[in-house]
Amino acid sequence: MSLQFIIDGYNVTNHPLFLKSQRKNKDSGSFLLEIIRTKNLCGSLKNNVTVVFDGYPHVSGRYALNPNFKVIYSEDLSADDLIKELVENYRGNRKNIVVVSDDKEVALYAKHAGALTKSVEDFLGNDPGLNKRARINKRLEEKNAPKQELNYSQIDKINEELKKIWFK
């Protein structure tokens, strides 16, 4: 069973995790396609991948990809609307669709249609090289975060409120 990945292109390329990993002087769209292929971010090579970008293709927007890999520009539609349309018109079991976007409206639409969703961070998280620094920073933040403790008067106040609720 192959999966159909539908990726919100600019949503991924504008994510801080992606921007930190992007090579200098490299077109972000080309770099996204390169890392999807080389890092197997979509799993098996048999999985179908559709990357949706807003607007019209650039003159240099020619990508040599395998047959399971498509790049679509939304032209006059928004990429979000085109992604919804692709999910809606999918011929097959929508449980095989994985929509990658941080756009809440797109993710909610995909979930209601029966598709799976993945945040950009989770998608890029499949590549340890892309998020290693982010994981380290998150651990440091958690470790250094101040512990929030309640004082006795706060505990007493909470207990009194709970008593009122429970012993009505």
User: Partners of 115 in the beta sheet?
Assistant: none
Is 128 a residue whose pLDDT tops 50? Answer: no
- The tally of domains found in the chain comes to 1
Torsion sign over Cα 87, 90, 95, 100: negative
Looking at residue 151, which CATH number applies to its domain?
3.40.50
Q: 61-104 pLDDT, tens per residue?
A: 555 566 788 889 999 999 999 999 999 999 989 999 999 999 99
Distance from C-alpha of 32 to C-alpha of 69, rounded to nearest angstrom: 12
Domain that holds residue 147: 4-166
